[in-house]
Amino acid sequence: MTAEAAGAPSLSSAAPGVRSPSATDPWWSRPGLDVCEGRLAIAGHDAESLARKHGTPLFVYDRRRFAENAERLAAALGRAGVRHRLRFALKANPDPLALEILRPLVGIDACSPGEVTRAMECGWAAAEISVTATNLSDRDLDAILAHDVHLNLDAVSQVDRLGRRLAALGRPARPVGLRINPGAGAGYNDKLAYSGVRPTKFGIYADRLDAALATAAGHGLAVDTIHVHAGSGWLADGLAAFEASLEPVVAIARRLIADGQPIAEVNVGGGLGVPARADEPPIDLDAYAAAIARQIGDLDVAVGCEPGDYLAKDTAILLAEVVTVEERDGTTFVGLDAGWNVNCSYFIYKYAQELVVCRAAAAERTERVTVAGHINEAGDLFAEDYTLPPVVEGDVVALLNAGGYHQAMSSTHCLRPHAEALFLDR
């Protein structure tokens, strides 16, 4: 559901059976993920016991957290007076059990025909789905155009291809959005900046905007949305870069409105990150909402906002068993029965999740180790030169912030199976 100008959220600080964190708890603890008598608990359940019962590797989700994250973000946008349409980037977690929780709270950002189908199967109406994809084929477009979803197009060639497909299918022209590449980006690191100084594959650059508009006009397609996704995973110190990426985009929206285009939405993408470690600065949502309000100014448009990770990342942990503790050439390697095939964020993005020993969740970290997985690649690591409490083979550890993208991006590389997933309600 699209929520415009949502009011104050109904956030319960702690659900029944779930303790509120105290000042001495670790930085990551929160209602639903905390330390209970020294042991890690998720959604009121002892994490190690879940691992022993269900086997490892095992994703364990605290389902209520999806809703809390969406409500917190909507409330901040509401407080700043931003008329918004909040959509979940479904790619971050397409599991129907996750989507069920988000269904009453948000619309959907989809990036493929499969995601459109999944969203509709899970109860979203076509009007609540916005598609921003890349390199869409004719087959993709035909499948997407079977539904009355809105499309943001990210290349001049895509505008032309859409116009041709609509004509070929005998369908009327429809308003479209244009994904802009502002040449400025933000991201957790440069692997996650989707626009910036170096050219990326996403979006229409300023020098091609007139070509995109002429192509749209040639097919009778009006432009009703201007879209940007600056990058992913940025934190408080990336807010200024995020805001800088909006400036040229809003200027384009202003120009198009002056030219008579029916611009109804400026979509600011997703990208809000979640800290991986204690020293990473969390985003101040009020500052985020204020930056958007400042840039939008007096423009009479809705603001599309399509986070994936911010709604999903801290909803889950991945539990794994320690199967090897061994020193190699001065480095202590802690080997787990999980690999990058089920938890790829360090392997692909160098996002280094915090690891917690489940039986000693708040214990002093005295050992310097490298934590590795069970895939036959040297890069299959979760943490390097990292401090943990002492661990022994047979211990269960939790990788935090495992709820966004990991399950969705899992593979059976080395014929290691997907991890099971457990969705818990507090």
Ligand X SMILES: Cc1ncc(COP(=O)(O)O)c(C=O)c1O
Contacts with ligand X, residue ranges (CB under 6 A): 89, 92, 109, 132, 229, 232-233, 269-272, 306-310
Dump strand ranges (E) for 194-241: 223-227
Please say which residue, 242 or 310, places its beta carbon nearer to ligand X: 310
The least distance separating ligand X from the CB of residue 225, rounded to whole angstroms, comes to: 12
Q: Are the CB atoms for 129 and 147 separated by under 8 Å?
A: yes
Please say which residue, 186 or 216, places its beta carbon nearer to ligand X: 186
Phi, psi (5° rounding) for residue 231? 150, 180
Please say which residue, 189 or 387, places its beta carbon nearer to ligand X: 189
Q: If we measure between CA atoms, which residue out of 222, 132, 131 comes closest to residue 181?
A: 132
The least distance separating ligand X from the CB of residue 153, rounded to whole angstroms, comes to: 12
Spatial separation of the C-alpha atoms in residues 287 and 273, rounded to whole Å: 14
Q: Are the CB atoms for 194 and 145 separated by under 8 Å?
A: no
Please say which residue, 270 or 373, places its beta carbon nearer to ligand X: 270
Q: Residue 61's beta-bridge partner residues?
A: 316, 423
Spatial separation of the C-alpha atoms in residues 306 and 292, rounded to whole Å: 13
The least distance separating ligand X from the CB of residue 205, rounded to whole angstroms, comes to: 16
How many residues can be counted in the chain? Answer: 426
The least distance separating ligand X from the CB of residue 232, rounded to whole angstroms, comes to: 3
- Category of 131 on φ-ψ map: left (φ > 0), alpha (ψ -120 to 50) or beta: beta
Please say which residue, 28 or 234, places its beta carbon nearer to ligand X: 234
Element (H, E) at 368: strand 367-372
Please say which residue, 106 or 391, places its beta carbon nearer to ligand X: 106
Q: Residue 177's beta-bridge partner residues?
A: 152, 225
The least distance separating ligand X from the CB of residue 91, rounded to whole angstroms, comes to: 6
Please say which residue, 43 or 274, places its beta carbon nearer to ligand X: 274
The least distance separating ligand X from the CB of residue 76, rounded to whole angstroms, comes to: 15
The least distance separating ligand X from the CB of residue 55, rounded to whole angstroms, comes to: 29
- Joined together, the tokens standing for residue 229 give 């996704």
Spatial separation of the C-alpha atoms in residues 136 and 147, rounded to whole Å: 16
Q: If we measure between CA atoms, which residue out of 107, 108, 90, 84 comes closest to residue 2?
A: 107
